[in-house]
Amino acid sequence: MFHKEGHKIIFVSLIIVVGLFFLIDGFITIEWLRKSLMIGVLIFFILILQFFRNPKRHTHADDTHALSPVDGKVVVIEEVFEKEVFKDKRIQVSVFMSPLNVHVTRYPISGNVAFSKYHPGKYLVAWHPKASEENERTTVVLENKTFGKVLYRQIAGALAKRIVNYAKPNSLVSQGDDSGFIKFGSRVDLFLPLDAKIKVELNQKVRGGESVIAEM
């Protein structure tokens, strides 16, 4: 299954790949070079398909758990001062996604969308310390009775050129459902209450909509 954000790109890429195959077959007479070019074009198309895949996840909805919004590796677990919305201390857990990870963003908790905002910005590498403040990003705050307010921030990386955010203010959302998509490399920061029990470790690999990040 492929994410709807990739349908157009996959279709255009398929047309380009077919065209390149005809050109290579018609104009390249050296056998080894023709086969190498065709294999290269095919690998390119497979990578496009890989990037936009949207595998079904088995989310076990639980109001006491905050799930990982994305697939990737945990690169930050620290107490920070969140200055955009909360303006107080929170526990930040950041997950970095390589171009090979699934890039669907999922709601970490169920609840009401209390805040949703897009910020244009730079395209620093996703692990840069200032990426969360200077890169293109979206900020979403979800609220429920168990966790209170939880903020997650989609951050574009050096290759990402478009962040898609489905979270609409004052709408009710379900844990694990699609909340957005980041095209070509990125990171997601999750800001949790200080009394949340963190259930992951640095460098741990997590799966969006399944791995438990924190528990109340």
pLDDT tens by residue, 180-211: 988 766 889 999 999 999 999 999 999 999 99
**186 among known catalytic residues:** yes
- Closest to 206 (Cα-Cα) out of 13, 45, 24, 72: 72
Please identify which of the residues 13, 94, 186, 211 carries the catalytic annotation. Answer: 186
74 — pLDDT class (breaks 50, 70, 90): very high
As a whole number of angstroms, the distance between CA 152 and CA 105 comes to 10
Handedness of CA 65, 100, 129, 104 (dihedral sign): negative
Helix axes 7-27, 31-51, angle to 10 degrees: 180
Note the pTM of the prediction, 2 decimals: 0.81
146 contacts 121 by C-beta, under 8 angstroms: no
Q: What is the DSSP letter of 2?
A: B
Which stretch of DSSP H or E encloses residue 134? helix 131-134
Contacts 24+ apart (CB under 8 A), 197-200: 198/77, 198/91, 198/93, 200/68, 200/74, 200/77, 200/93
For residues 81-101, give the mean pLDDT. Answer: 92
Cβ atoms of residues 169 and 178 within 8 Å: no
- Classify residue 105 as left (phi > 0), alpha (psi -120 to 50) or beta: beta
- The 10s digit of each residue's pLDDT in 108-162 is 999 999 999 998 876 666 556 666 676 788 999 999 999 999 999 998 866 555 7
pLDDT of the residue at 124? 64
Location of structure tokens 């005809």: 22
